A and B are shown apart, each in its own frame.
Chain A
Amino acid sequence: MSLKKFHLFFITTSLLLMVFVGAWALHQRSLGKDWIGTGATAVVGFIIGLIYANWFRVKYKSL
């Protein structure tokens, strides 16, 4: 596997982590604990990660 493919795999795993962190924040909310900061971080991280992955795929097609 090339570094480019491994990087895309890594970004996908990171996006899945953001989904997990988002779910964890919702769980914290159900427990009445502070959750907004973590939840917002997960959503922002997911959106940025998705935009970056698309940009990287297009920009470095020949890498």
Chain B
Amino acid sequence: MSSATAVSEHTPVHHSGESTGVTNAKLGIWLFLASEIMLFSTLFTTYIVLRLGAASWPRGWDVLNVPLGMINTFVLITSSVTMVMAYAKAHEKNLKGFQTYMSLTIFLAFVFLINKGIEYSAHFRHNEFPSTSIFHAVYFTLTGLHGLHVIGGIIVNSTLLYLSKTDFDHPLFLGRVEGAGLYWHFVDIVWIFLFPALYLL
């Protein structure tokens, strides 16, 4: 055996972009989520600093609709369950099951946005805008940015639902669903922190 052959036989070859131990897609989504964590952490810190420095701060339950916020919390928790079920069905190569659970996830995301819209419109009817007070500025910024992320999730999940008709058996499809699932769980976990911070404290 020549030395050149020996080198080629023993040199590690990395398939499917897994030189870091995880696929490039998963590494990419986690790097993206890390930047998102930094973004929301900054806004949460701003909220804490503003609240601690304020002479008076309204109680969330006095000015916000707690039952609607609670309903939205359960809607998002359920949507994470349907999202992971969609992934499980994709893992089992069950197209119908995948499409059913993914459609449910998208539907629940729309329910969340409609509830948020009802909440926002009630605020606007009472002449409460981001410029009304620092509390309202924080509330609209945090929930508005979160709402934009929910819209982003709807776009990604709808794209995957559409692509499943043709690309369901593609070797990268499962990884894409997992990436979307990680993003969706992140969006939901942000709300898990937003709800008590804004509504209950």
- Kindly identify which residue among A1, A14, A38, A63 contacts B91, using a CB–CB cutoff of 8 Å: A63
* Bitwise interface map of A from 3 to 40 toward B, beta carbon under 8 Å scored 1, else 0: 11011001001100100110010001000000001100
- Size of chain B's interface in residues, with CB distance under 8 A? 24
Residues of chain B whose beta carbon lies under 8 Å from any beta carbon of chain A = 30, 61, 66-67, 70, 73-74, 77, 80-81, 84, 87-88, 91, 178, 181-182, 185, 188-189, 192, 195-196, 200
Q: Which residue on chain A has the smallest CB distance to residue B71?
A: A41
Q: With A3-B84, A17-B196 as given contacts, are A10 and B178 in contact (CB-CB < 8 Å)?
A: no
Q: What is the minimal beta-carbon distance from A58 to any residue of chain B, in angstroms?
A: 13
Contact-residue size bin, chain A (C-beta under 8 Å from the other chain): 20 to 34
- A interface secondary structure, majority: helix
**Inter-chain contact A63/B88, CB cutoff 8 Å:** yes
**Interface contacts beyond A6-B181, A6-B182, A7-B84: sample of 16 additional A-B pairs, CB < 8 Å, sorted by A:** A1-B30, A3-B185, A10-B188, A10-B189, A14-B77, A14-B192, A17-B192, A17-B196, A20-B200, A24-B196, A38-B70, A41-B70, A49-B77, A52-B81, A60-B88, A63-B87
- A2 contacts the other chain (CB 8 A): yes
Of the A-B pairs whose beta carbons lie under 8 Å apart in the complex, a sample of 10, sorted by A's number, is: A1-B30, A6-B181, A7-B80, A7-B84, A7-B181, A17-B192, A21-B70, A24-B196, A45-B74, A49-B77
Q: What is the minimal beta-carbon distance from B34 to any residue of chain A, in angstroms?
A: 12
**Inter-chain contact A20/B196, CB cutoff 8 Å:** yes
Residues of chain A whose beta carbon lies under 8 Å from any beta carbon of chain B = 1-4, 6-7, 10, 13-14, 17, 20-21, 24, 28, 37-38, 41, 45, 49, 52, 56, 60, 63
